[in-house]
Amino acid sequence: MRQDAIERPGVSIPSLKFFGRDFTASIVVFLVAMPLCMGIAIASGVAPEKGLITGIIGGIVVGALAGSPLQVSGPAAGLAVIVFELVRDLGLSALGPILILAGGIQVVAGIFRLGGWFRAISPAVVHGMLAGIGVLIVVGQFHVLFDHKPLSSGLENLAAMPGRLLGLSSDLRATELAFMIALLTIGGMVGWEKFRPKSLRLVPGALVGVVAATLLTVILGLDVAKVVVPESIIGAITPPESGFLGRFAEPAILTAAVAIAFIASAETLLSAAAVDKMHDGVRTDYNKELRAQGIGNLLCGFAGSLPMTGVIVRSSANVQAGAVTRSSAILHGVWILGFVALLPWLLRAIPMASLGAVLVVTGWRLVSLKHAQHLYRDYGVLPVVIWAATLIMVVATDLLTGVLVGIGLTVLELVPNLRRLRLRVFEQQEGESHAISLDGAATFVTLPKLSATLDRVPAGAPVRLDVSKLDAVDHTSAELLRDWFQRRKAAGTPVELRGQRGRIAALAV
pLDDT of 509 reads 62
pLDDT of 14 reads 46
Is 430 contained in some domain?
A: yes
State whether 20 and 59 are in the same domain: yes
pLDDT of 11 reads 39
Domain that holds residue 398: 365-413
pLDDT at residue 8 is higher than 50: no
pLDDT at residue 220 is higher than 90: yes
pLDDT of 393 reads 92
State whether 248 and 268 are in the same domain: yes
d(CA 311, CA 307): 12
pLDDT of 505 reads 65
pLDDT of 158 reads 87
State whether 20 and 42 are in the same domain: yes
CA angle (305 as vertex; 302, 309 as ends), nearest 5: 100
Of residues 19 and 424, the one with the higher pLDDT is 424
pLDDT in tens, 315-352: 988 988 888 999 999 999 999 999 999 888 998 999 99
* Percent of the chain's residues with pLDDT above 70: 94
pLDDT at residue 5 is higher than 50: no
d(CA 20, CA 495): 36
Is 276 contained in some domain?
A: yes
State whether 271 and 314 are in the same domain: yes
Domain boundary among 318, 352, 386: 352
State whether 454 and 322 are in the same domain: no
pLDDT at residue 77 is higher than 90: no
pLDDT in tens, 131-187: 888 898 899 899 999 998 888 777 888 899 999 888 888 777 888 999 999 999 999
State whether 470 and 403 are in the same domain: no
Count: domains in the chain: 3
State whether 227 and 345 are in the same domain: yes
State whether 344 and 404 are in the same domain: no
pLDDT at residue 4 is higher than 80: no
pLDDT of 133 reads 84
First to last CA, the chain: 22
d(CA 366, CA 177): 27
CA angle (505 as vertex; 503, 509 as ends), nearest 5: 115
Is 176 contained in some domain?
A: no
Give the CATH number for residue 455.
Answer: 3.30.750.24
State whether 284 and 335 are in the same domain: yes
pLDDT at residue 47 is higher than 70: yes
φ and ψ at 23, to 5 degrees?
-60, -50
pLDDT at residue 74 is higher than 70: yes
Mean pLDDT score across all residues of the chain: 87
Range 262-285 average pLDDT: 84
State whether 431 and 408 are in the same domain: no
Of residues 433 and 152, the one with the higher pLDDT is 433
3-state secondary structure 54-122: HHHHHHHHHHHHCCCCCCEEECCHHHHHHHHHHHHHHCHHHHHHHHHHHHHHHHHHHHCCCHHHHCCCC
pLDDT at residue 2 is higher than 50: no
Of residues 303 and 229, the one with the higher pLDDT is 303
pLDDT of 54 reads 97
pLDDT at residue 303 is higher than 70: yes
Q: How many CB atoms lie within 10 A of CB 243?
A: 8
Is 117 contained in some domain?
A: yes
d(CA 291, CA 117): 14
Range 457-476 average pLDDT: 87
pLDDT in tens, 103-131: 999 999 999 998 888 878 888 988 898 88
pLDDT at residue 304 is higher than 90: yes
State whether 464 and 380 are in the same domain: no
- For 430, the 3-state DSSP assignment is strand
Q: How many CB atoms lie within 10 A of CB 311?
A: 27
Domain boundary among 413, 433, 452: 413
pLDDT at residue 16 is higher than 70: no
Q: What pTM was computed for the model?
A: 0.82
| Burial per residue of 411-437, b for 16 or more beta-carbon CB atoms within 10 angstroms, e otherwise | eebeeebeeeeebebeeeeeeeebbbb
pLDDT of 500 reads 63
- In sequence order, the β-bridge partners of residue 442 are 473
pLDDT at residue 9 is higher than 70: no
State whether 110 and 231 are in the same domain: yes
422: left (phi over 0), alpha (psi -120 to 50) or beta: beta
